[in-house]
Amino acid sequence: MPYRAPADDIRFILDKVVPVAPLSATDRFAEATPDLIDAMLVEGARLCDEVLAPLQRAGDTDPPRLEDGVLRSTAGFAGAYAKIAEGGWIGTAAPVDYGGMGLPQTLNMALQDMMSGACLALQLNPMLTQGQIEALEHHASDALRDLYLPKLISGEWSGTMNLTEPQAGSDVGALRTRAEPLGDGTHAITGQKIFISWGDCDFVGNVCHLVLARLPDAPAGTRGISLFMVPKFLPDADGNPGAANSLGVVSLEHKLGLHGSPTCVMAFEGAVGWLVGEPNKGMAAMFTMMNNARLGVGVQGIGVAEAACQKAAEYARDRVQMGPILGHPDVRRMLATMRAEIFAARAIALSCAVALDMARATGGSDWADRAAFLTPIAKAYGTDTGIRVAEAGVQVHGGMGFIEETGAAQYYRDVRVTAIYEGTNGIQAMDLVGRKMADGGDMALRLLEEVQSGAEAARGASPDLAEAVWSAAETLRETTEWLLAQEPRDRFAGAVPYLRAFALVLGARFHLVAWAEGGARRALAEVFIRRILPQHTACLAEAREGAAGLYALSDEDLVAG
């Protein structure tokens, strides 16, 4: 049974659980009617099922190659990308003035969910381009926007972001790439970048790199970083790709998974670049792209989880060991847990997307604050769910899961990096308990109030489930207040389990809403609330341990064992 894009599940969430209807009531998204959203989900699902999903294994077994400095992508990727571009899918949420559809990011995230499950390695290419589109829209000059946005939105050109260097990973302020003014408004960019996804591509006319670099005499650290547009080919007077720029792919990284997506070591040797935004303000511009990508990466985890779960369920149905293994209690436990966490993660991600869209449509700071708070949760919980589900999928397959030909292991290998790139999940958790609680925990406590109000409203129909959700939110509120009184190191030591606890409570809230719709939704909600939600107790116990016990071990103890 091939992959089936989960359009029905997404449609249910957008209709009943995280309603998208308020978006169409705004002037900005008035065209995003239920009929339009439904039609795009149907067409997007068809693209995923018929065009992208058949390439999933090919990307793993026939990865891109670097031949005499020329990148050769996986056979079939070029044709599939052309279908994505021709359908206008890259510009779903892009500005209308430059050729985009101007539709909600919520719909775009739903489509990216399906594309990620179909073929994550290829989906990563347009996702990065979408992030670059947003960064240019908000920070580039009119001239740069006019030149680059139409071609990026149409899919003629693709976009990347170049942050990481061998000595500068999460510590971006340590980067050494230089930008020397050339006297004509351009700059010579010199340096090396690593881990650049789709740093080259043989099925677009130009690859457009957003590169972080330092101007002469720039302040130290992140305050002295600027952002530059550095294209593979220099646009000519008509805006078409002209002479080759002084940059290239040094090598391709040998990776655990995601083989179909070339991860490049890039060398810039006096390459011509144009400043994006203000000098020394590059991090603000790059964070626009990164925040877009963080939600997108969370959605990638959810998409892969969906595909891994489908494959495991199919195998369990067909595999006979003392009867079909689908009937074995532990196999059913794994599959039910997988399905319940996917639903929770998907609802959290879509609720974050709705908040982003409402902020854009209304200008309301409350919506923007909500989106900012939910982003690290959506990224970390979405990718952790992808990893857990893909790992469980291997287990459902038993010994065959360890055999590459089944394809079960590929999902785990492919999704594992999502917890690392665009800010590790540990960084997401520290962001949650740090900057996102700089408001004194106001947004966190408001969200918990909403959870408890929803639970109160559900007491009449399902008193035991409602009580479980209400009590979990109350315990989380108490731990939130405790965290707010701690020093940063103690907050950070418990940040990861705290984030998971918050995600479990939010997921339980959405499952409780789905429970009211009856049918199989009730059974799945009970699995989550009765079997998974109780894990929040252990998470919060760890979160409240602080940092002392971790630092009681010396560095030598940790290194030597």
pLDDT tens sequence across 124-183: 999 999 999 999 999 999 999 999 999 999 999 999 999 999 988 777 778 999 999 999
The tally of CA atoms less than 13 A away on the side-chain side of residue 196 is 31
Question: Are residues 390 and 308 in contact, defined by beta-carbon separation less than 8 angstroms?
Answer: yes
| CB neighbourhood size of 508 (10 A) | 28
Tokens of residue 59, six digits = 């990307």
Predicted confidence at residue 289, as pLDDT, reads: 72
> Which residues neighbour 194 within 8 Å (Cβ) at sequence distance 6 or greater?
164, 165, 166, 253, 265, 266
Question: Are residues 3 and 115 in contact, defined by beta-carbon separation less than 8 angstroms?
Answer: no
Tokens of residue 428, six digits = 């997401």
Question: Which among 422, 467, 487, 556 is annotated as catalytic?
Answer: 422
74 lies in some domain: no
Question: What residue numbers bound the domain in which 211 lies?
Answer: 157-280
Predicted confidence at residue 201, as pLDDT, reads: 97
22 lies in some domain: no
Q: What is the mean pLDDT of residues 449-476?
A: 97
Report residue 287's pLDDT band, with 50, 70 and 90 as the boundaries.
confident
Distance (Å, whole) CA 355 – CA 343? 18
Question: Are residues 145 and 132 in contact, defined by beta-carbon separation less than 8 angstroms?
Answer: no
Does the predicted TM-score (pTM) go above 0.85?
Answer: yes
Predicted confidence at residue 283, as pLDDT, reads: 86
Q: Which is it for the CA torsion 378, 381, 386, 387, positive or negative?
A: positive
366 lies in some domain: no
| Domain end marker among 280, 311, 330 | 280
The CATH code of the domain that includes 223 is: 2.40.110.20
Q: How far is CA 195 from the centre of its chain?
A: 17
- Taking alpha carbons only, the member of 482, 498, 499 closest to residue 540 is 498
Which H, E and C letters describe 117-129, residue by residue? Answer: HHHHHHHHHHHHH
Question: Are residues 397 and 321 in contact, defined by beta-carbon separation less than 8 angstroms?
Answer: no
156 to 81, 94, 323: CA distances (angstroms): 10, 15, 53
Distance (Å, whole) CA 390 – CA 369? 32
Distance (Å, whole) CA 137 – CA 270? 26
* Single-letter residue type at 446: R
Report residue 276's pLDDT band, with 50, 70 and 90 as the boundaries.
very high
Predicted confidence at residue 284, as pLDDT, reads: 83
Question: Are residues 164 and 195 in contact, defined by beta-carbon separation less than 8 angstroms?
Answer: yes
Predicted confidence at residue 561, as pLDDT, reads: 63
| CB neighbourhood size of 65 (10 A) | 12
Q: Facing residues of 158 across strands?
A: 207
Which H, E and C letters describe 182-248, residue by residue? Answer: CCCCEEEEEEEEEEEECCCCCCCCEEEEEEEEECCCCCCHHHHCEEEEEECEEECCCCCEEEECCEE
Instruction: Output phi, psi for 267, to 5 deg.
Output: -115, 125
Q: Quote the percentage of the chain above a pLDDT of 70.
A: 100
Q: What is the pLDDT of residues 410-439, one digit of tens each?
A: 999 999 999 999 899 999 999 999 999 999
Question: Are residues 38 and 11 in contact, defined by beta-carbon separation less than 8 angstroms?
Answer: yes
Q: What is the pLDDT of residues 321-357, one digit of tens each?
A: 989 999 999 999 999 999 999 999 999 999 999 999 9
Predicted confidence at residue 457, as pLDDT, reads: 97
Q: What is the pLDDT of residues 199-220, one digit of tens each?
A: 999 999 999 999 999 999 999 8
The answer on pLDDT for 1 being more than 80 is no
Q: Find tokens 């894990």 and name the residue.
A: 535
User: How many domains is the chain built from?
Assistant: 2
165 lies in some domain: yes
Question: Are residues 317 and 324 in contact, defined by beta-carbon separation less than 8 angstroms?
Answer: yes
Q: What is the pLDDT of residues 467-489, one digit of tens each?
A: 999 999 999 999 999 999 999 99
SS3 87: coil
Q: Which is it for the CA torsion 166, 167, 171, 172, positive or negative?
A: negative
Q: What is the pLDDT of residues 223-233, one digit of tens each?
A: 999 999 999 99
541 lies in some domain: yes
The answer on pLDDT for 95 being more than 80 is yes
Tokens of residue 401, six digits = 């899961």
- Taking alpha carbons only, the member of 136, 166, 165, 138 closest to residue 150 is 136
The answer on pLDDT for 441 being more than 80 is yes
| Domain end marker among 256, 280, 304 | 280
Burial 437-466 (b: 16+ CB within 10 A, else e): beeebebbbebbeebbebbeebeeebeebb
295 lies in some domain: no
> Which residues neighbour 548 within 8 Å (Cβ) at sequence distance 6 or greater?
490
The answer on pLDDT for 506 being more than 80 is yes
422 has catalytic annotation: yes
| Domain end marker among 259, 280, 301 | 280
For residue 275, the surrounding DSSP H or E stretch is strand 263-276
Report residue 286's pLDDT band, with 50, 70 and 90 as the boundaries.
confident
